[in-house]
Amino acid sequence: MQAIPFDPLDYPHPSRRTVVYARNGMTCAGNPTAASVGLQVLLKGGNAVDAAVAMAAVMPLAEPTGNGLGSDAFVMVWKDGKLYGLNGSGPSPKAASIEALRAKGCEKIPAYGVLASDVPGAVGAWAAVHERFGQLQFADVLAPAIEYAENGFPVSPTVADLWGRAVNLYSGMRSDAQFEPWFTHFAPQNRAPESGEIFRSPDIAATLRRIAETKGEAFYRGEIAEKIAAFFAAHGGLLTADDLAAWRPEWVEPLSVNYRGYDVWEMPPNGHGITVLMALKTLSGMQLGAPLTAETMHQQIEAMKLAMSDTAEHVTEPSAMRVTTDELLSDEYAAKRRALIGEQALLPKAGDPRGSSTVYFCTADRDGMMVSFIQSNYRGFGSGIVIPGTGISMNDRMENFRFDPAHANCLEGGKRPYHTIIPGFLSKEGKAVGPFGIMGGFMQPQAHVQVVENLIDWHLNPQQALDSPRWQWIGGKKIDIEADVPPAEVLKLIRRGHEVTVKADLTAMGRGQMILRAPDGTLCGATEKRSDGQIMSY
């Protein structure tokens, strides 16, 4: 069933900027330095993968509030009519278990510290995707990031704000010696850098140089790995050199559903991209009204709640899942879930959706290759662990496990957790439409659904689709909603039983980018009003 016609010229929420067009190549990122690095690599003869890896390498420096050299990553690459997926998420240490954490006095999985980190997969993902698809030498691709780390870059406004929040957070943990290297590296003057202030990191430069020279081997099976393992051992952590040495990224087949003529692609579990596809299948059988009306938002919210409740229960390391992706995406199951949606807000059995930080970026080149790339520590700077002398800030992905031995996603050694970061991609009739992604922990699948429907149901352009006001389901019947949603529609949602909080802080509502390719090859790029986003093209 198709949505009612909607004229985007009548849309009541104008964007702050217009879309950007190009013919030859484009890079989109939430950070101007990263977008610039991608364009530099394209202009040197690199392809879309070269540009994306260059951007990934500079992001731990330029936007450390969302990722680090100790991050995980997921990548989708469109090349010659096929979409490839790379899972760059690492497993828990082999010694990790619920019993092991309880023996250390834990009653839940810590959000911070050495017990929060799993094997970081991002560096391995850079090397693997470049090995398969890159055009330039790996060292040349990482050279711009090394130069920025050595000579510095001006900190952008949103990053400066988030950096300041992190200083306040970690200050409360500073009595624990394991967090002191974070201050040494990221707050050497006991404060965050201000907007426009130059930040340099000789440590990150040195680490990137070794990664470039060894194509990532030193990070997992060399001197960098030894430094990581030594720090964890010294502070009672579980991650070892053997854990690092044993890990490899995994090539996977992306999943898709057809939504009103477009194929929407997401990565398979252990990520929760399948949540997007489940919600879209539910909504595809419903008649949607105009955007940002209470009726439409109610349908979207209820479909999203049902999908997120399911994935919170079932998604984990694929070998540990107790249902299949085919079962979760079946027409029969979508019909059953759709039948539950009525006029009033549901109270489904669900997990605890929480906010966090990530970086997403995308690239396209003149030969048709397109890349959707996402990289994250999970909570901002991550676990608060920085390996001395390296600039490596470690993830806190272990927190996405369940501290319940009966749950499919329970913490076990050598297992990958339920993962929140999800790159997206659109195609139509076997041809690429383009990459998209929105950062923000458990907001990500919710934003994917809203942006896809903005594009497909209401024919908004990419900038309008990203800038449009958003809602976020928090748990139970609780909904956060942006202040520019019409107040009358907010009141109608409340009458339907939703517990609505109007939010002034937009950083938790996701920050995304998108590049779409027209049938004639013209590229159209957009980036968020909620970030310091930049589009570079030629």
Buried b (16+ CB within 10 A) or exposed e, 319-358: ebbeeebeebbeeebbeebbeebeeebbebebbebbbbbb
Q: Distance between CA 503 and CA 500 in Å, rounded?
A: 9
Could you give the residue numbers annotated as active site?
358
321 token code pair: 């899942």
Q: Whole-angstrom Cα distance, residue 107 to residue 417?
A: 18
Q: In sequence order, which residues have a C-beta less than 8 Å from that of residue 416 and are 6 or more positions away?
A: 89, 90, 91, 92, 118, 270, 316, 317
Q: What is the C-alpha to C-alpha distance for residues 201 and 145, in angstroms, rounded to an integer?
A: 11
Helix (H, G, I), strand (E, B) or coil at 434: strand
The type of residue at 53 is: V
């079962």: which residue's tokens? Answer: 327
Instruction: Report yes or no: 99 and 373 within 8 Å, Cβ to Cβ.
Output: no
SS (H, E, C) 153-202: EECCHHHHHHHHHHHHHHHCCCCCHHHHHHHHHHCCCCCCCCCCCEECCH
SS3 at position 10: helix
Query: Rounded CA gap, 474 and 119, in Å?
Result: 29
Coil, strand or helix: which one is 108? Answer: coil
